[in-house]
Structure 1
Amino acid sequence: MATEHATRFQPCYILRDSKIPCVIWCEDAVGYYGVPTVVFSLYILVPDIDNAANVLIERGWHLEDRAQTKFGNAQLGSAHHRLTPPIDETQNRPALSPGMEPPPPPSPSKIPVEPTTTILLPASEWNYTFPSIIQSFFPPLPELVDALIDRLLDDPLTDGMWNRLAVLIAYLYGYVPAVKEKSFADQLKYEHRQYHYDSLSGMASGTLPFIRHERKIRDALREGRFQLCDCSADREDESLFTDKVLARIRASMPSPFSPEEYEADKKREEEEERRQWADEDFSEG
């Protein structure tokens, strides 16, 4: 009997058995490193999406309309194949392939039990290079962060795809202890190290001004026109450091209670408590 994880990741086992490298991506990948996220379709990076799709089709998977594929709230317009699992007609549920092996290490919670819609993505378009020896279906943490940063900074920012990429990166910086360490930069590509330092500096990462700023910094690092530092922007730049802006907004919002109203309400509560105590004493007497 296939286990829950092995069932969801069934396409990975099929591809591996056919000598096709693959790596799990998106929510499943960040969830593997401790991010408490729900998962949706299963996204997989492969060297050639056509070859991988053909292997799955031979095992009963069905090629679906790519126009239906979403990446976050945006339509996924880049190269991919969308497949749904074979259906067990007797139980009207996805069928399991025989000989499933033990599952990989734990992944995110709330994983659907059955095989799910699988999205095959070309690894080259996601700036991911497969290692010579693949030890896991999950990408190493530095390679995951590198690839997501690169893809985000390459994004034209014309649709909502950038937003989901930014969220995935923010999840890693918010929940994975290793990524929060300044020294984690040593494991990243040189051109992404300033992104890391800036994310730890207090900048409002994940915003359009931040992404545009980091794109310029990355390009400058590639061209040798920039030196790494703790923070690449003026801390008075409120388009990148938004704490002061948010503080002003909060200060401008009316308090639900003025000091006078608070004291009057507190006094009414105290008087009500004294009245209740007096009533209890009278009834006991």
Structure 2
Amino acid sequence: MASERVTRYQPCYILRDSGIPCVIWCEDAVAHYGVPTVVFSFYILVPDIDKAANVLTQRGWHLEDSGQTKFGNYPLRSAHHRLTPPIDVTQNRPAWSPGMGPPPPPSKGPPRPTTTILLPASEWNYTFPLTIQNLFPPLPELLDALIDKLLDDPLTDGTWHQLALLIAYLYDYVPALREKSYAENLKYEHRQFHYDSLSGMSIGLPFIRHERKIRDALREGSFQLCDCSADQEDESLFTAKAQARIIASRPSPFTAEEYEADKKRAEEEERRLWLEDE
């Protein structure tokens, strides 16, 4: 059975075999769409975190202190459960040391289960479809939910930073998102976010506050979609110009004469070493 496969995704198989819908979230989800990110804890969206945790604990998982959970580099303050997988005695071997002989070859087996974080789907603005075909959310639903979560964030801790990072990763690495027409796959209220992201705006606090107002205006029907919702001379939103100006204002570490002199010294040293080898 799928639920018996010992992989990183094992809790998903267990939950689905128990009739609990779930989708993979956070780093694992964006990695599925081609983002070359490192994965840490395993985040899952479920309808009810208490029911899901109960199913996993019945299968040997252990509830841990949720105060230790992080979202990126920041404490996760919102509702969740943190669980660690059952201890597999067959894997309880001492770590390799030089006195033990040649090191063992890298494991070719699937990744082991890891610390799993259960998140309530409703708080992450995700609605489960009637029929779930995949462990991963469709790309439009993933992006819609992340955008909504970002624009709803109170911006009082680091949660917004990690959300913005996940969204920026998707725009950097998923070719489909570089197309203006992809907006048609998103919720209407998020389409201007898409257009503005492609216009060159930088995802920071000014951008988030700006896009929150735009989203709310779209919901109210008081804003019309456009290629860019802000003045492109606004350097709080378009930070590339300001960054380029700062870099240009910094003095070069070398004058042209110093560069040539340093280059000549390096060539002479290389020639000296070559002659010594002869």
CA shift at 1:266, angstroms?
A: 4.7
Point out 4+ residue stretches in structure 1 off by more than 6 angstroms: none
Q: Deviations over 1:112-167 (max 9, x none)?
A: 82100100000000000001110000000000000000000000000001111000
- SS of residue matched to 2:7: helix
Q: Distance in 2 between matches of 1:137 and 1:178?
A: 21
CA shift at 1:238, angstroms?
A: 0.6
Label 1:226 to 1:90 Cα distance change in 2 as closer, same or farther (>3 A). same
- SS of residue matched to 1:151: helix
Match of 2:229 among 232, 237, 241: 232
| Residue number in structure 2 paired with 1:156 | 154
Match of 2:255 among 254, 258, 280: 258
1:170 aligns with 2:173: no
Q: Which runs of 5+ in 1 are unaligned?
A: 94-110
1:187 aligns with 2:180: no
Q: Distance in 2 between matches of 1:38 and 1:17?
A: 28
Contact 2:192/2:229 (<8 A) preserved = yes
Q: Deviations over 1:4-31 (max 9, x none)?
A: x951000000000011000000000000
Alignment of 1:107-146 (within 5 A): 113-146=111-144
| Residue number in structure 2 paired with 1:104 | none
Q: Deviations over 1:49-68 (max 9, x none)?
A: 01111000111111111111
Q: Distance in 2 between matches of 1:245 and 1:239?
A: 9
Label 1:196 to 1:6 Cα distance change in 2 as closer, same or farther (>3 A). farther
Q: Distance in 2 between matches of 1:219 and 1:6?
A: 45
CA shift at 1:213, angstroms?
A: 0.6
Label 1:112 to 1:119 Cα distance change in 2 as closer, same or farther (>3 A). farther
Contact 2:140/2:186 (<8 A) preserved = yes
Q: Distance in 1 between matches of 2:122 and 2:258?
A: 62
Match of 2:208 among 211, 230, 233: 211
Q: Distance in 1 between matches of 2:76 and 2:265?
A: 58
Q: How many residues align?
A: 259
Q: Deviations over 1:51-95 (max 9, x none)?
A: 1110001111111111111111211111101111111235438xx
Name the aligned partner's letter for residue 251 of structure 1: A
| Residue number in structure 2 paired with 1:24 | 24
CA shift at 1:179, angstroms?
A: 1.2
Q: Distance in 2 between matches of 1:223 and 1:235?
A: 25
Q: Distance in 2 between matches of 1:90 and 1:243?
A: 53
Alignment of 1:10-159 (within 5 A): 10-92=10-92, 113-159=111-157
- SS of residue matched to 2:234: coil
CA shift at 1:264, angstroms?
A: 3.9
1:242 aligns with 2:239: yes
| Residue number in structure 1 paired with 2:100 | none
Aligned-residue sequence identity (percent) comes to: 80
Q: Distance in 1 between matches of 2:266 and 2:67?
A: 60
Normalised TM-score (structure 2): 0.87
- SS of residue matched to 1:139: coil
- SS of residue matched to 1:8: coil
Normalised TM-score (structure 1): 0.85
| Residue number in structure 2 paired with 1:7 | 7
